[in-house]
Amino acid sequence: MGAPSLGPCRGCGADMLWVATVNGKMQPLDPEPDAAEGSVIVVAADVEVEGQEEPVHRLALAASYLTEKGRQKAAQANVRLYTPHHMTCPKNQDRRFNRGG
């Protein structure tokens, strides 16, 4: 339980890795790590996930967004960096990425 699940993108049909973020939102990532472009690390964390009626607490793999500096450090340390799927989705009309998000 709490394991990330794969699901197809509604736009392009590619497999996406669904993980909770540390903020409890679900974030689809490209399943293959990308050391050059990735900006998200996946860590094991106790996450409060939005449930049907009330938030559900569970141990999950959580996505955490990195600053550019953190991204470079992680890349140097060979930490796997993942890319949010909307960054690479060919069907996504808006690929602008707000790093401050």
Which residues contact Zn ion by CB under 5 A? 9, 11-12, 14, 89
Number of neighbours of residue 50 by Cβ within 10 angstroms:
13
What sign does the CA torsion over 68, 48, 44, 62 have?
Answer: negative
Q: 9 or 66, CB closer to Zn ion? A: 9
Number of neighbours of residue 83 by Cβ within 10 angstroms:
19
Q: How far is the CB of 68 from Zn ion (least distance, A)?
A: 25
Q: 21 or 88, CB closer to Zn ion? A: 88
- Give the contacts of 37 (CB within 8 A, at least 6 positions apart): 81, 83, 87, 88
Q: 16 or 62, CB closer to Zn ion? A: 16
Q: 73 or 95, CB closer to Zn ion? A: 95
Q: How far is the CB of 8 from Zn ion (least distance, A)?
A: 8
Q: How far is the CB of 11 from Zn ion (least distance, A)?
A: 4
Q: What is residue 70's DSSP assignment?
A: H
Q: How far is the CB of 17 from Zn ion (least distance, A)?
A: 12
